[in-house]
Amino acid sequence: MQSPSIPRASAISSQRKPIVDVAPTALDTSQAGAYLGISRVQIYRLMRKGELRSFHIGKCTRILRSELDLYVMRQMAAEAS
């Protein structure tokens, strides 16, 4: 009588779903600056002027990616008019 076969590790790992790389919704000031192609200091200036809304998680400042997209759209609309 044969014992049941145990699947090899390679067979098990190939059955797993791939890890999905998800971009964060809320970015820190460095990430926001990189997203817009500007410095972190400039991000803080825009926040201080009220042009970018932000929020805090503990001591960490976060900016929604959608807020950054809205800022870009407002800038483009202002240049078009």
Can you give the pLDDT at residue 1? 56
Can you give the pLDDT at residue 29? 97
Model pTM score: 0.70
User: Could you tell me which CATH number the domain at 24-80 has?
Assistant: 1.10.10
| Best CA proximity match to 26, nearest among 54, 1, 63, 55 | 63
Question: Tens of pLDDT along 8-64?
Answer: 655 555 567 777 667 789 999 999 999 999 999 999 999 999 999 999 999 999 999
Question: Residue ranges per domain, the chain?
Answer: 24-80
Can you give the pLDDT at residue 16? 73
Residues 6+ away with beta carbon under 8 Å from 52: 32, 43, 46, 63, 67, 68, 71
